[in-house]
Amino acid sequence: MAVSETSQTVKVPATATSAKGAADTSAAKPPQLRAARVRKQSVIKFVILFVTLAFLFIPLFSMLVFTLRHPLSGRWSLAPWVAIFTGNGESLGADLTVLWQGLGTSLALCVVTVVIMLLLMVPTMVIVHIRSKVLERAIEWVATLPLTIPAIVLVVGLGPIYRWLSADVLSTNPIWLCFAYVILVMPFAFRAIAVGLNSIDVKTLVEASRSLGASWPKVFFRVIIPNLWQSILSASFISIAVVLGEYTVASLLGRMNLQVALYQLGQSNSQISTAMSLLALLFGVVLLVALDLISDRVRKSKEGK
Amino acid sequence: MTAAIAQNGPATKFAGPSASSSVLAKHRQELGTFAVTLPFFAYTACFLLAPTIIVVIGAFQTRDGGFTLANFSKLFEPNTVSAFVTSILVSIASSVIGAVVGGLASYALVIGAKPNGLLRRMVSAISSVLAQFGGVMLAFAFIATIGINGIGTMLIKQMTGLTVNPNWLSSLSGLVTVYCYFQIPLMIIIFLPAVDSIRPQWREACESLGGNTYQYWTRVALPILAPRFISAFLLLFASAFSAYATAAALFSQRSILVPLMIQGAMRNEMDPNQQGFAQVLAFAMIIVVAIVMLLSHAVEKRAGRWQ
């Protein structure tokens, strides 16, 4: 909105000056030049966006066609999709138990990771936001550190820790991957929550409710959380998207999750695993479009204030 | 929480003289704050700091636990050097293409469009999905497109009669193409805010001072965008350099990239010749990524002047 308005308001003075210097023919040029520029711009814009989007969509389209057309016989069928939705891959000679096991693990991991992440991040970030700028900086630094330490590096160090954990403390159950995943989602979750914290006046809210006699837990659950729910939701969504797409840590620690299962299934039946990848991607699109709508609502309610 | 409650007791007891009580209260508050942050720091110490320390110590450790620099000699073996060179080349190539194409696309999304137009919101939502779309699923997407039985391969064969080399995907140019698939959306997400900060008024000011398009770009827009562009490029480099899953799904056997070498070294950890090799490689990766990130921060600081 702002852009189109300003460009229009500026066009007016430009034509005004040309009208003033009506005798001067060269002064009449700028508006036409600008129109030509805008036309040229829109052609360039169209070409760039078309090429970029084509590059992004052709592989997705190919995936869809690949699932529908048997690569060797060339026959078209819905068999891979039927296999996924009925849970029975026998018609294609594929054993889907690995896939269901991986999917179940990944979904459980999403839940556990999100819960641990929220318990760990939200109270800490809220209290630090109110009380201590220094600690807030420290937490920001630590929480965004996983962006600098690649997952493949982290897994080298996590190897011994997980060997000890699975032998002496816990089991080899893939659900314990959640500890590593919380670290992986931390930078994204931190950003989402920080946006929410900065958009509301936490300090005033806390002081107001404390002076009205609310206890700390009450302040936290009845005042802070309801004001932060959008950013908590977006932190959870982005964490789910990251956990569903995680392959590095699970495969190198030898645990089964959705991506490892997709990879294994891909060795024997690439059609089913491609179809499943498309579904996972679609789920990601739904999650992140929902996220976009939420952040749009946050923006609007903020502007409305 | 428990610490905060425990602190409550003595403070209320000593609540006599007002001066000392305010000092105590402040102390108590600080301790309370620290106590609440303790789980966070304890957790990150266990699962972020400890693994990193294990990697660093492991890189300098002999088989029986002594200090050594000998592990690093493996870094200079021709295999390892060529893996690093390949990794860096692939990362640079895919980041250059990703940064240029993504930068142009974000410019195209911003010019002459409403800030919250449908097209822009759609593209940025799709980009944020596709930027996360690495790994196995991405490998499948490209195998379905230009693998041996890919749709693209068949279309090209039917239309032009040319056969696409089935191994093209596992060549370097193939890998760069695949990496571009997440680099371009990533660039769009990172760079859109930078392009947004360009005011249309600047162009108008430039024009009213008699500047033409070329001058506008070389004297106004590019110098302002350059630092943000470079820092975005460096972030793309780091993301390509540390990507593992896509390459792992495309090349099952060959260790031509550093992350794949780490995988190989981890699988052969019991081999005495491989002692500390995974840790050394990981350590070298940390160094490379850390340098890139530091550079990116330094450049970003320069860009901050225009915000």
Q: Do B293 and A147 touch (CB under 8 A)?
A: yes
**Looking at the domain assignment, is residue B68 inside a domain?**
no
**Looking at the domain assignment, is residue B111 inside a domain?**
yes
**Looking at the domain assignment, is residue B201 inside a domain?**
yes
Q: Do B266 and A155 touch (CB under 8 A)?
A: yes
**Looking at the domain assignment, is residue B200 inside a domain?**
yes
Residues 136-195 of B with CB under 8 A from A: 136-137, 140-145, 149-152, 180-181, 184-185
The residues, ordered by sequence, that sit 6+ positions from A305 with a Cβ below 8 Å of its Cβ are none
Q: What is the pLDDT of residue A6?
A: 40
Give the CA distances from residue B157 to residues B140, B160, B167, in Å, rounded to whole numbers and listed in that order: 20, 6, 16
**Can you tell me the distance from the alpha carbon of B142 to that of B153, in angstroms, rounded to the nearest whole number?**
11
Residue of A nearest to B46 (CA): A161
**Looking at the domain assignment, is residue B70 inside a domain?**
no
> Is some CB atom of chain A closer than 8 A to the CB atom of B197?
no
Could you report the predicted ipTM of this complex, rounded to two decimals? 0.77
Q: What is the pLDDT of residue A135?
A: 85
3-class DSSP state of A76? strand
**Looking at the domain assignment, is residue B64 inside a domain?**
no
Q: What is the pLDDT of residue B12?
A: 42
Residues in chain B with CB shorter than 8 Å from the CB of A52 are: 101-102, 104-105, 184
* Contacts for A294-297: CB closer than 8 Å, 24+ residues apart: A294/A230, A294/A233, A294/A234, A295/A230, A295/A234, A296/B116, A296/B121, A297/A230
> Is some CB atom of chain A closer than 8 A to the CB atom of B111?
yes
Model pTM score: 0.80
Q: What is the pLDDT of residue A3?
A: 40
**Looking at the domain assignment, is residue B66 inside a domain?**
no
- Picking from B5, B29, B47 by the largest number of A CB atoms within 10 A of its own CB, the best residue to mutate is B47
Q: Over its length of 307 residues, how does chain B's per-residue pLDDT go in tens digits?
A: 444 444 444 444 444 445 556 677 777 777 777 788 888 899 888 888 988 888 888 888 777 777 777 777 777 888 888 889 989 999 999 999 999 999 999 888 887 666 667 788 778 778 887 887 777 888 888 888 887 777 777 788 777 777 777 777 778 888 898 999 989 999 998 888 888 877 778 878 888 888 887 888 888 888 888 888 898 899 899 989 988 888 888 876 677 888 888 888 888 776 666 667 888 888 888 889 989 988 888 887 876 665 4
Shortest Cα distance, chain A CAs vs residue B17, angstroms: 22
> Could you state, in order of their start, the residue ranges of all structural domains in chain A?
2-68, 90-304
Domains identified in chain B, total number: 2
| Same domain assignment for residues B55 and B96 | no
**Looking at the domain assignment, is residue B299 inside a domain?**
yes
| Same domain assignment for residues B29 and B178 | no
Range of B85's domain? 75-306
| Same domain assignment for residues B12 and B99 | no
| Same domain assignment for residues B41 and B87 | no
Q: Which fold has domain A90-304?
A: MetI-like fold (1.10.3720)
| Same domain assignment for residues B43 and B145 | no
| Same domain assignment for residues B19 and B139 | no
| Same domain assignment for residues B114 and B249 | yes
User: What is the CATH number for B141?
Assistant: 1.10.3720.10
Q: Do B140 and A63 touch (CB under 8 A)?
A: yes
| Same domain assignment for residues B128 and B40 | no
Q: Do A56 and B185 touch (CB under 8 A)?
A: yes
Give the one of A2, A143, A262 whose C-beta lies nearest to B136's C-beta.
A262
Shortest Cα distance, chain B CAs vs residue A215, angstroms: 12
| Same domain assignment for residues B90 and B48 | no
Residue of A nearest to B241 (CA): A150
> Is some CB atom of chain B closer than 8 A to the CB atom of A6?
yes
| Same domain assignment for residues B80 and B54 | no
| Same domain assignment for residues B122 and B52 | no
Q: Do B40 and A252 touch (CB under 8 A)?
A: no
| Same domain assignment for residues B34 and B119 | no
> Is some CB atom of chain A closer than 8 A to the CB atom of B274?
no
- Picking from A17, A37, A52 by the largest number of B CB atoms within 10 A of its own CB, the best residue to mutate is A52
